[in-house]
Amino acid sequence: MSQADFTMEGHSTGLTAGPAFSIPTKKLAMWLFIIADTMTFAACLVAYGFLRNGSPSWPRPFHGITNVALMTFVLLTSSLTMLFGLRSARAGDKARAFRWTMITAALGIVFALLHIREWLELIGQGMTLFKNPWGTGLFGASFFSITGLHLTHVTCGVIALIAVGVRYKGGRYNADDIEVLGLYWHFVDLVWMFVVPLVYLLNLAH
Amino acid sequence: MTTAEDYKSNGIGKDLAIYVCLLVLAGLQFVIAYQNIDASQMFRRMLAVAFIQAGLAALFFMHLWAEKRGLLLFVAIFTISVLLGMQFGWTDSSRMVGGAPFSSTNK
């Protein structure tokens, strides 16, 4: 055996030794996506914090917490139903797993509708991307950017929940796929825990 | 993937307990929002609660706690180092807003 063959063999063994961190590739890919997406949201929130800190006339347009509290409750509950779906899938109960996945998707739709209703209210009060009646125009840009990015994630998650749920029911996907999707859904929930205090609660009109 | 045994040993009760904890912490953020304190103090308290919430969600809802320690360390170290890195940008921006850019100190 030549030195080149020996080296190639050693290299090949290293590459096929198993996935990193001993977790399946799909799950690792989702974790890497989550880490990358964390950076995106963190950059947006840090930039928002800088703008808020540097603007003397930052608006405080939110007069109540009912809507945002309801949205938080719906999203947190959807994380729980996602866990129930995964648990059912692991137990091999396909019908129940599908039902919980669809309930999670339905809660995601409710969250999106509440979000859109809130947007329409703010737009009705004269708030756009570049101006609003209360103060610096940067507020609209940062608010719609951050909540819009989050809403896009929720919408994509709902589509994925329905697609994966249907394919899981049809036997094309398995419990591992539900788990990988669950990671994404919990991440969307996790991001909301930072969006609520920074974007909503710090801008409450007292 | 997490094994079926893991799921059997960790019952629904734990999921519910974490869910209730997250709801309580979310409620705490709303209480902080109505406290009569200055904005920076409010920001710090809310951010602390948010980090606890995020930690609970990542460890138990996303099952990071049940994964190999290598993955847990990789996610934690990588995320924290980038978030800390962002603070350099933040402080630099604040310096510029405060009227003390680098140029004035490099004479």
CA distance A156 to A194: 20
Q: Which residue of B has its CA nearest to A37?
A: B79
Please say whether the beta carbons of A46 and B89 come within 8 A. Answer: yes
CA distance B46 to A196: 9
* Residue B75 or A96, more confident: A96
A173 in reach of chain B (CB within 8 A)? no
ipTM for this model: 0.86
DSSP state of A206: -
CA distance A151 to A129: 16
Picking from A70, A84, A138, A74, the residue whose alpha carbon sits closest to that of residue A109 is A74
Q: What average pLDDT score do residues A68-88 get? A: 96
> Predicted confidence band at B7 (pLDDT cuts at 50, 70, 90)?
low
CA distance A68 to A65: 5
A32 in reach of chain B (CB within 8 A)? no
pLDDT at B1 over 60: no
CATH number of the domain at A23-203, out of 1.20.1110.10, 3.20.20.10, 1.10.3210.10, 1.20.120.80? 1.20.120.80
pLDDT at B39 over 70: yes
| Interchain proximity A202–B33, CB inside 8 Å | yes
Structure-block tokens of residue A205: 């009109």
A175 in reach of chain B (CB within 8 A)? yes
Please say whether the beta carbons of A194 and B25 come within 8 A. Answer: no
> Predicted confidence band at A8 (pLDDT cuts at 50, 70, 90)?
very low
pLDDT at B9 over 70: no
Which among B43, B67, B86 has the least Cβ separation from residue A202? Answer: B43
Dihedral angle sign, alpha carbons of residues B56, B57, B60, B65: negative
CA distance A176 to A26: 9
What pLDDT shows up at residue A105? Answer: 98
Structure-block tokens of residue B99: 């009227």
Q: What average pLDDT score do residues A153-158 get? A: 98
How is chain B split into domains, by residue range? 1-67, 68-107
Output the CA–CA distances (angstroms, integers) from residue A64 to A60, A136, A169, B8, B20, in the order listed.
Answer: 11, 21, 42, 42, 23
Q: Which residue of A has its CA nearest to B30?
A: A201
What pLDDT shows up at residue B4? Answer: 52
**Structure confidence by residue, pLDDT tens digits, A112-144:** 999 999 999 999 999 998 888 888 888 999 999
What pLDDT shows up at residue A54? Answer: 79
Round the CA-based radius of gyration of chain A to a whole number and report it: 22
A201 in reach of chain B (CB within 8 A)? yes
pLDDT at A74 over 60: yes
Name the region of B11 (left: φ>0; alpha: ψ -120 to 50; beta: rest): beta
CA distance A193 to chain B (A): 6
Picking from A192, A90, A168, A132, the residue whose alpha carbon sits closest to that of residue B15 is A90
**Structure confidence by residue, pLDDT tens digits, B51-82:** 999 999 999 999 988 888 888 888 888 888 87
Chain B residues touching A80 at Cβ < 8 A: 15-16, 19
Whole-model pTM: value is: 0.85
Partnered with residue A62 across adjacent β-strands are A204
Burial of residue A92 (CB within 10 Å: 0-12, 13-18, 19+) is exposed
